[in-house]
A and B are shown apart, each in its own frame.
Chain A
């Protein structure tokens, strides 16, 4: 089955700096890669996603890149703000292969003032 690894487990940045979180996946047939943000005590919420036919996608301060050959994808947050502090999860799914959604282990991002 699919295995998703995520690094780092914790990340501390200064406000205004950039943050990068990296994930690798094992199933080359995976074709949908969402990123979720989970604030303390709340539900995971989708912040951005990318499909395998695209190499990069951007939404304001958030961007995701995908390297299918290397089977890794990354989340980039620019101009970080205190409200970006949360746990971020990457995930992988193979559409058409049962749509099983497998999550990484999470990254605790702390944006310091």
Chain B
């Protein structure tokens, strides 16, 4: 079974530039999460999708962050403009969800963003 795919693995940008991350979840997984993990901290949920609908985006800084999940499969997370404090690893995870009992979340390798 293929895992959660993310790209790019690493990205370095200057502050005020824009950046986009891509995630391809495990096939058939209805739930998709984007987490921000700052060095030394636990993953912080930015946004959660159920198919192509947003379930929770309460911690997404909407003035600069946006995300979409077209057709309920792949997802992109965008930051525009980036700030120094956005430097972190951005993790995508997916789970079967959809009301099933299988709630295990599988993570991608993450994208390490450095804003200079």
- Tell me the A residues contacting B by CB distance below 8 Å: 1, 6, 32, 34, 36, 42-46, 49, 89, 93, 95-96, 98-106
A102 nearest in chain B by CB position: B45
**30 cross-chain CB contacts under 8 A:** A6-B42, A34-B103, A34-B104, A34-B105, A43-B91, A43-B108, A43-B109, A43-B110, A45-B107, A46-B104, A46-B105, A46-B106, A49-B104, A89-B43, A93-B103, A95-B101, A98-B55, A99-B55, A100-B45, A100-B48, A100-B56, A101-B33, A101-B93, A101-B95, A101-B103, A102-B45, A103-B42, A104-B42, A105-B42, A106-B40
Inside 8 A of A93's CB, which chain B residues have their CB? 103
Q: List 8 additional A-B contacts (Cβ < 8 Å) besides A99-B31, A101-B95.
A: A32-B103, A43-B110, A46-B106, A95-B103, A98-B55, A100-B45, A101-B33, A103-B44
Inside 8 A of B99's CB, which chain A residues have their CB? 96
A-B pairs under 8 A by CB, number = 61
In the complex, whether B72 has a CB less than 8 A from a CB of chain A is no
A111 to chain B, nearest CB (A): 19
Which single member of A36, A49, A99, A104 contacts B48 (CB below 8 Å)? A99
A98 nearest in chain B by CB position: B55
